[in-house]
Amino acid sequence: MNLRLDMVNGELLKNMQPVLLSWGGKIVAALLVFLIGKWVASRITILVVKILEKKNVDVTLIRFLRGIIYYALLIAVLIAAAGQLGIQTTSFLAILGAASLAVGLALKDSLANFSSGVMLILFRPFRVGDWVQVGSEAGTVQEISVFSTILHTGDNQKKIIPNGAIANNTITNVTANATRRIDLVIGISYDDDIDKAKQVLAKILDGEKRILPEPAPLIAVSALADSSVNLAVRPWVRTADYWSVYFSLTETIKKTFDEENITIPYPQRDIHLHGQNG
């Protein structure tokens, strides 16, 4: 009885030996393809990152591309390894495509934010450290990710904005340029001397050292309003000096006009009463 079992087992092993050798070779080949491919993918990714760093590409873009390149290469390696095992990669790709479609429909809002994040990172309408305004939100850009952008407001609040909302809105990058124009509108009384007021304003601008000589500041009558003659005062400053100069000029103009007896009128209306006889 035992002899018969040994003969059966020996026959089975003899018949299975080619199969085991075949599958063993495939598994070894698949493992080699995966390990070597993973190493090559890592080296290629590191090489691309070094090239981008030498080209002074934005750090956010480098981090994003590093992940995309590595995982795209890794997927290609997995497909090649599956091919070594005899798996039909065309069927695998079809299943992967169908699964991707289902996931895409389920996560369409997240994917919209992702695609918008890719566009923001690639075209860079703003960078980390810029002061931007997006719709009703404004602040300093702290972080740009593929799904959202983080702003710090002037009063130190943290705003997390989905990238889809940013891409579908008007973006104002306040600090994109090195210089910026201050726009002030100063009203004087109709009884005041326009030339004198312009001379006083010019003297104030000359005394402010942070105002740039070029482009030259503009002082001109902009409107004849209901209660005042409005003068446009438009000096240019470095972007970093904008608010400090803005506040300083506003205060200095008021104090100097008081000293020079130039009136800054407030809105008023004259009412005439007409009596009726009998």
Domain containing 167 — which CATH number?
A: 2.30.30.60
Residues 162 and 189 in one domain: no
The pair of structure tokens assigned to 4 is 């018969």
Let me know whether 6 and 97 are in one domain.
Answer: yes
Sheet holding 148-152, edge to edge: 158-162, 148-152, 137-144, 131-134, 171-173
Distance CA 235, CA 212 (A): 7
Say if residue 202 is in the same domain as residue 153: no
Same domain, 167 and 248: no
For residue 275, being part of any structural domain is answered with: no
In a domain, 247, yes or no: yes
- For 116-143, what is the mean pLDDT? 86
Task: Look up the CATH number of the domain holding residue 230.
Answer: 3.30.70.100
Task: Let me know whether 19 and 93 are in one domain.
Answer: yes
Give the pTM: 0.63
pLDDT at 161: 92
- Please check the confidence at residue 245 and state whether its pLDDT lies above 70: yes
**Does 21 map to a domain?**
yes
Q: Number of folded domains in the chain?
A: 3
What are the CA-CA distances from residue 13 to residues 25, 61, 68, 85 (Å)? 17, 57, 47, 22
Q: Are residues 138 and 63 in the same domain?
A: no
Indicate whether 77 pLDDT > 90: no
Q: What integer pLDDT is reported at residue 3 of this predicted model?
A: 47
| In-domain check, residue 270 | no
Domain match, 164 and 70 both: no
Is pLDDT at 12 greater than 50 in this prediction? yes
Are 207 and 256 within 8 A, CB to CB? no
Instruction: Identify whether residues 93 and 15 lie together within a single domain.
Output: yes
How far apart CA 64 and CA 262 sit, in angstroms, is 59
Residue 154's H or E segment, with its range, is: none
Q: Which of 175, 181, 173 minimizes the C-alpha distance to 211?
A: 181
Residues 6+ apart with CB under 8 A from 3: none
Q: Comparing C-alpha atoms, which of 222, 211, 218 is closest to residue 246?
A: 211
pLDDT at residue number 8 = 47
Residue 122 lies in a domain: no
* 136 and 69 fall within a common domain: no
Between the CA of residue 257 and those of 201, 210, 219, 254, 267, what are the distances in Å? Answer: 9, 21, 15, 5, 18
Those residues whose C-beta lies under 8 Å from the C-beta of residue 59, and which sit 6 or more positions away, are: none
Residue 262's φ and ψ, nearest 5 degrees, are -100, 125
Specify if 277 maps to a domain: no
Of residues 212 and 123, more confidence is placed in: 212
Asked if residue 164 and residue 192 are part of one domain, the reply reads no
Weakest mean pLDDT among 23-27, 120-124, 162-166, 170-174: 23-27
Contact 81, 33 (CB under 8 A): yes
Write the CATH number for 100: 1.10.287.1260
Range scoring the smallest mean pLDDT among 18-22, 180-184, 274-278: 18-22
Question: Could you give the C-alpha distances from 170 to 19, 97, 152, 167, 239, in angstroms and in order?
Answer: 65, 35, 18, 8, 21
Domain that holds residue 159: 128-173
Do the domain assignments include residue 118? no
The most confident of 21-30, 124-133, 227-236, by mean pLDDT: 227-236
Instruction: In whole angstroms, give the CA distance from residue 67 to residue 175.
Output: 30
Same domain (yes/no): 97, 35: yes
Look at residue 43 and tell me whether its pLDDT is greater than 80.
yes
Residue 120 lies in a domain: no
